[in-house]
Amino acid sequence: MTSLKAEKAVIVPGNGCGDVADSNWYGWANRKLNEIPGFSSILRNMPDPITARESIWLPFMKDELKVDEKTIIIGHSSGACAAIRFAESNPVYGIVLVGAYHTDLGDYNEGESGYFNHPWHWEKARENTQFIVQFGSTDDPFLPWSEQEFVSTSLHADLKKFEDRGHFMDESFPELISVVKQHLK
């Protein structure tokens, strides 16, 4: 990829959220990212927020959120799946994955999302990004560490491993802001 400058971040939440501005660290991170001079961040409620269907979320990311080659996608949980799937076929500046996984984990709703019923194209996702950072925690109550490790290895991601962050559902996430700032330099 050519070396472009990142102009914005798009935060793609996990499924099952109410108003994303009041969920987890999303609103906090959006405010912090919008404080960076010459950079902006977008956080919007996603359509189909419970099932988070790939067939709905990916077009929304492209057409409504205007994700492009100058965008850093920050995806949490099912939003991380959306970020990877988007990067498989679209150039983006980078992806930051939080609580990423690659199977439906035997969960019906996850199975209905569509992310897991066709092969992952890890190499294409890598080729379409300038960087991939992944945050994972060994004590995640929803995702086995093996799932998170598999994604990291498959993407050759810069893995930020924690042992005490669960599914990253805190109200703030300073490490995330640091990683984005690091990749804007």
Q: In the annotation, is 78 catalytic?
A: no
In this structure, what CATH number is given to the domain that contains residue 64?
Answer: 3.40.50.1820
Q: In this structure, is residue 141 part of a structural domain? A: yes
User: Which residue, 181, 72, 61, is CA-closest to 131?
Assistant: 72
- What total number of domains does the chain contain? 1
- 77's torsion region: left (phi>0), alpha (psi -120 to 50) or beta? left
Q: In this structure, is residue 139 part of a structural domain? A: yes
User: Distance between CA 179 and CA 172 in Å, rounded?
Assistant: 14
Q: In this structure, is residue 161 part of a structural domain? A: yes
Q: In this structure, is residue 166 part of a structural domain? A: yes
Domain extent at residue 102:
8-182
pLDDT band at residue 17 under the 50/70/90 scheme: confident
User: pTM of the entire structure?
Assistant: 0.97
User: Could you give phi then psi for residue 107, rounded to 5 degrees?
Assistant: -95, 125
User: Which residue, 109, 97, 124, is CA-closest to 179?
Assistant: 97
pLDDT band at residue 16 under the 50/70/90 scheme: confident
Catalytic residue among 41, 102, 113, 167: 167
Give 104-108 contacts, CB < 8 A, sequence gap 24+: 105/142, 105/143, 105/147
Q: In the annotation, is 77 catalytic?
A: yes
CB 124 within 8 A of CB 160: no
pLDDT at 1 over 60: no
Catalytic residue among 77, 78, 113, 137: 77
Catalytic residue among 23, 76, 140, 152: 140
Q: Residue 185's pLDDT is what?
A: 85
Q: In this structure, is residue 2 part of a structural domain? A: no
Q: In this structure, is residue 60 part of a structural domain? A: yes
Q: In the annotation, is 140 catalytic?
A: yes
Tokens read off for 147: 């799932």
Q: In this structure, is residue 163 part of a structural domain? A: yes
Average pLDDT over residues 29-44: 98
pLDDT at 149 over 90: yes
Mean pLDDT, all residues of the chain: 96
Q: In this structure, is residue 1 part of a structural domain? A: no
* Tens of pLDDT, residues 103-116: 999 999 999 999 99
